[in-house]
A and B are shown apart, each in its own frame.
Chain A
């Protein structure tokens, strides 16, 4: 059985959620099956400009075929088009035009899938909202499995996706909330699908002391990891944290790890450390009192899983139903909808080491039961077996 993973971008230096998710799953599944990756030559997700050479290469033992992008994306035009279809009445053709602008437009990739249909047993498509998934699944519906990585944004309600969600043979969902949303949108209850997510491997050893020494950090701190961006809810986090500091005598600091694309408030208790290597990130996580997850839209937060893998509790934005659901199912974190709830929840977590330890333990148990690589690989193998059996 040969399986092709089809994704919008692929590479060691690409850290986007769905792309990294795909790479990890492909690398782990290559231990069980012959796998290949079909992707575009793009590196930049804003314009999809061709960056990697067309053709074949091997990344961590996985063969990768790259196909050129025929049309780069004009972000301004795309924004206008998206606003038009989301705010006005429109036809299906408008949605198709939006999809073509969304990209990465690579007709050669779709042609390859059509011509080499017999060479692969299944095509696993990542991210429903891009060109490759829409046209790829329509080309080979009988052999396609979709990992939608869908967030609760308005695009998911477009007509073209309603139809698309009924085509694949199976779904690999990231969360229960994602499955519920897609089933509500499309009524695809009869299409088999399992909640899988993605695994992660926490390092065997972490050194909090080394991290504190390197960055001159003392005292308690809460941690945010990820792109510091408005879409990730960072402005609200800054606002709430500063109000919390003003209202309480807490010595807690807010430590930020990740590249920033917005202005960070200048405050002695807010420390931005920039992009850090993996080991430093885990060291920071191991020493954090609480991991902050202020994002409004997440299909699956890998960093939340990493926090639970290290036994740390999480304080998440309840506006993101996935994070809220994960906290409830795991009993490994609290959530907030307003500043009042943020203040009370953070205060409760910071004041009670016992509560932090108990929630961290619950998070670790939840992680071990659902998100170890062995579990994830078995779920993928199970769905492949269920669909067609292994040769």
Chain B
């Protein structure tokens, strides 16, 4: 195991963790909160650390088309005035040449300061000009993105609307189909109820026939028993008859002797 970041320094805004009792649900709640607070790449396109700034060449390329739409160019350092003023100035300078050391001694530092300040102001002006153009570029880009998002939102709205219409139509169609089916089902239920009534009648008949069958079986059984009794009586009578016949013959033999 490596030893990277062994001290666990706490960075500002970091998710706090109780290392002795790790609770993933609690950690995830904090992470979700933090993720929700952090600006997403889409909502802050220029402040996102993931988006690199344009390089110098790219900036030149980007700013070139905007050269005409930026603020007026910064003023250049004042040039030598033309006309009579321009003619007098060299003459004065020529006449004053012997006094130049004294003038330089007292006036040059001030003049140089003024020149330096003017140059600095010019540089600052140029930078401000550049920053203005850059700001304008960002603003234009943001505007374009905003327009693109709005266009997309409109397209999405249209789509959602179209989809909603389609779904509503489908729901209506389905509702019609369902209603039709319900009607059919009701008709079928009526038919089934009628058949059920018929079936009830049939069942009643069957019950009656069953009772009749039962009674017939009972009667037939009784008759069978009676038949068996009669048969037995008949056999007894036959036996009695045989006995009487034999006796008759015996008596006849004795009488004839």
Report A's interface with B, CB cutoff 8 A: 220, 243, 246-248, 327-328, 330-335, 338-341, 343-345, 348, 351-355, 357-359, 362
Contact = CB atoms under 8 A, between A and B. Distances in A.
B56 interface: no
Given A327-B24, A328-B24, A333-B24, A351 B31 contact: no
A345 to B, nearest CB: 5
A363 to B, nearest CB: 10
The 7 A-B pairs with the shortest beta carbon distances in the complex, nearest first, are A340-B35, A247-B50, A246-B50, A344-B31, A341-B35, A331-B22, A331-B24
Interface string B210-241: 00000000000000000000000000000000
A220 B2 contact: yes
Given A328-B25, A355-B17, A355-B19, A247 B48 contact: yes
A307 B6 CA distance: 23
Contacts of B152: none
Interface residues of B, number: 29
A335 B19 contact: no
B28 interface: yes
Contacts of A345: 28, 31
Contact of A340 (B8, B22, B40): B40
Contacts of B8: 352-354
A359 B31 contact: no
A69 to B, nearest CB: 39
Contacts of A357: 1
A339 B41 CA distance: 10
Given A220-B4, A340-B36, A341-B31, A358 B19 contact: yes
Contact of A341 (B4, B32, B48): B32
Contact of B23 (A331, A339, A343): A331
Contacts of B81: none
B5 interface: yes
Given A353-B6, A362-B22, 4 more contacts: A331-B24, A340-B36, A341-B35, A345-B28
Contacts of B77: none
B27 interface: yes
A355 B28 CA distance: 13
B49 interface: yes
B29 to A, nearest CB: 11
A331 B36 CA distance: 23
Specify the main secondary structure of chain B where it touches its partner.
loop
Given A348-B15, A352-B8, A247 B27 contact: no
A61 B35 CA distance: 53
Given A220-B4, A247-B49, A340-B38, A348 B17 contact: yes
A358 B49 contact: no
A322 to B, nearest CB: 15
A248 B19 CA distance: 24
Contacts of A339: 40
B34 interface: yes
21 contacts: A243-B50, A246-B50, A327-B24, A328-B24, A331-B23, A331-B24, A338-B35, A339-B40, A340-B35, A340-B38, A340-B40, A343-B35, A344-B31, A344-B38, A348-B15, A352-B8, A353-B1, A353-B2, A355-B19, A355-B22, A357-B1
Interface in B172-218: none
Contacts of B1: 353, 357
Contacts of B48: 247
A243 B50 CA distance: 7
A353 B5 contact: yes
A358 B27 CA distance: 13
Interface string B32-52: 101110101100000011100
A334 B31 contact: yes
B19 A354 contact: yes
A222 to B, nearest CB: 14
A293 to B, nearest CB: 14
Contacts of A343: 35, 38
A129 to B, nearest CB: 28
Contacts of A220: 2, 4
Contacts of B2: 220, 353
B15 A243 contact: no
B28 A335 contact: yes
Contact of A334 (B3, B6, B11, B27): B27
Q: Which one of A330, A334, A339, A348 has the greatest number of beta carbons of chain B within 10 Å?
A: A348
B173 to A, nearest CB: 11
Nearest to B24: A331
B20 to A, nearest CB: 8
Contacts of A354: 8, 19
Contacts of B23: 331
A330 B23 CA distance: 9
Nearest to A359: B22
A340 B32 CA distance: 8
Given A247-B48, A352-B8, A355-B19, A344 B24 contact: no
A290 to B, nearest CB: 13
A353 B4 contact: yes
A181 B34 CA distance: 31
A243 B40 CA distance: 12
Interface in B234-252: none
Contacts of A332: 24
A294 to B, nearest CB: 17
Contacts of B15: 344, 348
Nearest to A338: B35
Contacts of B6: 353
A334 B28 contact: yes
A332 B6 CA distance: 20
A339 B11 CA distance: 21
Contacts of A328: 24-25
A243 to B, nearest CB: 6
B22 A358 contact: yes
B43 to A, nearest CB: 11
